[in-house]
């Protein structure tokens, strides 16, 4: 058989014989002509079987192929603008074919299925065109995160997944048995990042994060991937400067590399093209004012109630959605009330009821994709905080000691991969942005 090539590379082989190995995505029966859609993971191409070109038994086999049967085909590559596929425009004329397995009746057909059914068949659903597109974009998002940080002087320092204490909040912890002790799955690598920051200056950790969120929203997973950069001597303003460069680089890289995938997802890319620095920055106070104005202007009583917010409360999804719809780019909201944020955030000087925190809210209603802050670096203040929230000092001794051995102002944030991918891909729900979603009611497959 001819040289094995990837469907994505077919354009390089026009006029030559090639071999393609993969699975049958779809087939159209035109009698003497069989139009196969073959996928190999890199793309989908049309492959044409003509009765007169093939031994009788081989043609009969092709005619009997079921969806997702595995096969190897060989023949010449022909350019044809009309040839469908991903990316399309080239087809293979089948001269030889070897069928590896005739697939059983495939549960996912081109007709519409309910989401729960598809999630139950996630191990097969990942083969579908839309899912293929989303997970390829996810891979590029992750890759760009790493490359950008590596190229900008950040060192990857891994943080533990099994931890003795809470990192973010004491609710939402997954508890595990650790020999004779209890331990928790990491909610964040941040506390360790702060130790590593003092060793390496600019660091990041990047791994799975666990939160036993009982919420059933379209933005929450119980297992999600978060990248967390942490920088010595960074202020809140430095943090926002860095975040807007970082997030823009991710979005622009996906635009560059994934035209085909974004087309499959029917994503309006004009929204993404605008994602370049600088991003608008508003304080929590201003955000609340804007929400009050929107509430007052709203005529629908139900929507009016949803928009209502009292100063001091955290934003819910309806608030974030409404806010982001006012901007064309991602928007930073900074200086949140201290009471709704984590214990380690630096209070604003002269106004301790708000803290030097910042969330980045994605446009088109997507809401929070990053959360970060300046960290308290004064030893006594941190001691007071830990005492006040009633977490056991013993488990935090190492963390507290960081404030006694060369404390410096520092800041960092976490970016959720899945929320970022959902926004870039324009998806309604976060569950399709991770290969195997874990949620309140989802642990299978």
List interacting residues with ligand 4AD (CB under 6 A): 168, 188, 190, 211, 213, 220-221, 224, 226, 228, 368-372, 412-414, 416, 418-419
Say whether the peptide bond before residue 87 is cis (omega within 30 degrees of 0).
Answer: yes
Strands 351-355 and 347-348: antiparallel
**Which of ligand 4AD, Mg ion, none binds 338 (CB below 5-8 Å, type-dependent)?**
none
* 23/413 with CB nearer ligand 4AD: 413
SS3 label, residue 344 = coil
- Of these partners, ligand 4AD, Mg ion, none, which one is at the site of residue 409 (CB under 5 to 8 Å by kind)? none
C-alpha to C-alpha distance for 338 and 355, rounded to whole angstroms = 5
Q: Which is nearer to Mg ion, 159 or 188 (CB)?
A: 188
Contact 225, 208 (CB under 8 A): yes
Least separation in angstroms between CB 310 and ligand 4AD? 21
Q: Supply the minimum distance, in Å, between the C-beta of residue 225 and ligand 4AD.
A: 8
In angstroms, the CA 289 to CA 28 distance is 59
Task: Pick the closer one to ligand 4AD by CB: 27 or 431.
Answer: 431
Judged by beta carbon distances under 5 to 8 A according to partner kind, the member of Mg ion, ligand 4AD, none in contact with residue 188 is: ligand 4AD
Rounded to a whole number of angstroms, the minimum distance from the CB of residue 227 to ligand 4AD is: 9
* Beta carbon of residue 168, minimum distance to ligand 4AD (angstroms, whole number): 5
- Sketch the per residue contact string, 353 through 392, with Mg ion: x for CB under 5 A, - otherwise: ------------------x---------------------
Report angle CA 222, 224, 230 to the nearest 5 degrees: 125
- Nearer to Mg ion among residue 228 and residue 432 (C-beta): 228
Instruction: In whole angstroms, give the CA distance from residue 179 to residue 407.
Output: 35
Judged by CB, which is closer to ligand 4AD: 58, or 434?
Answer: 434
Query: Taking each helix axis from N to C terminus, what angle separates 417-425 and 236-257, rounded to the nearest 10 degrees?
Result: 50
| Nearer Cβ to ligand 4AD (51/321) | 321
Q: Any idea what DSSP says for residue 266?
A: T
Distances (CA, A) of 95 to 35, 36, 43, 52, 200: 14, 13, 21, 10, 59
Choose the contact partner of 220 out of ligand 4AD, Mg ion, none; CB within 5 to 8 A by kind. ligand 4AD
Nearest to Mg ion of 330, 371 (CB atom) = 371
CB of 205 to ligand 4AD, least distance (A): 8
How many residues interact with Mg ion (rule CB under 5 A)?
1
Provide the token pair at 141. Answer: 């998002």
How many Å separate Cα 51 from the centre of its chain?
A: 46
Q: Is the dihedral of CA 271, 275, 279, 282 positive or negative?
A: positive
SS3 call for 96: strand
Contacts with Mg ion, residue ranges (CB under 5 A): 371
């Amino acid at each position: 058989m001819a040289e094995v090539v990837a469907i994505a590379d077919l354009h390089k082989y026009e006029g030559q014989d090639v071999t393609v190995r993969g699975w049958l995505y779809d087939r159209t029966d035109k009698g003497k002509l069989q139009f196969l859609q073959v996928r190999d993971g890199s793309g989908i191409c049309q492959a044409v079987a003509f009765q007169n070109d093939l031994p009788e038994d081989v043609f009969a086999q092709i005619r009997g192929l079921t969806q997702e049967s595995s096969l190897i085909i060989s023949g010449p590559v022909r350019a044809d603008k009309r040839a469908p596929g991903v990316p399309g425009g080239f087809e293979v004329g089948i001269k030889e074919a070897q069928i590896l397995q005739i697939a059983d009746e495939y549960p996912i057909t081109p007709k519409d299925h309910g989401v729960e059914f598809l999630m139950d068949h996630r191990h097969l659903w990942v083969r579908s065109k839309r899912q293929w597109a989303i997970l390829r974009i996810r891979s590029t998002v992750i890759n760009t995160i790493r490359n950008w940080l590596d190229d900008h002087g950040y060192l990857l320092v891994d943080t533990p997944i099994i931890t003795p204490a809470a990192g973010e909040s004491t609710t939402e912890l997954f508890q595990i048995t650790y020999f004779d002790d209890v331990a928790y799955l990491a909610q964040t690598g941040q506390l360790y990042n702060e130790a590593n920051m003092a060793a390496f200056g600019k660091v990041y950790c990047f791994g799975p994060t666990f939160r036993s969120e009982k919420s059933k929203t379209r933005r929450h997973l119980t297992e999600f991937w978060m990248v967390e950069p942490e920088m010595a001597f960074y202020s809140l303003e430095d943090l926002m400067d860095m975040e807007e460069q970082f997030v823009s680089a991710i979005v622009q890289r996906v635009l560059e590399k994934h035209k085909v995938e974004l087309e499959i997802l029917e994503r309006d890319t004009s929204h993404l093209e605008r994602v370049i620095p600088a991003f608008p920055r508003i304080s929590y106070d201003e955000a609340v004012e804007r929400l009050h104005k929107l509430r007052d202007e709203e005529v629908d009583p139900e929507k009016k109630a949803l928009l209502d917010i009292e100063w001091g409360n955290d934003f819910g999804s309806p608030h974030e959605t409404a806010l982001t719809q006012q901007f064309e780019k991602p928007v930073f909201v900074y200086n949140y009330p201290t009471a709704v944020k984590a214990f380690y955030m630096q209070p604003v000087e002269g106004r301790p009821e708000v803290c030097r925190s910042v969330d980045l809210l994605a446009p088109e209603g997507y809401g929070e994709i990053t959360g970060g802050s300046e960290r308290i670096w004064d030893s006594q203040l941190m001691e007071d905080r830990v005492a006040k929230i009633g977490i056991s000092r013993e488990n935090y001794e190492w963390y507290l000691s960081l404030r006694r051995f060369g404390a410096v102002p520092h800041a960092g944030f976490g970016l959720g991969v899945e929320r970022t991918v959902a926004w870039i891909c324009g998806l309604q729900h976060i569950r399709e942005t991770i290969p195997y979603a874990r949620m309140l009611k989802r642990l299978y497959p």
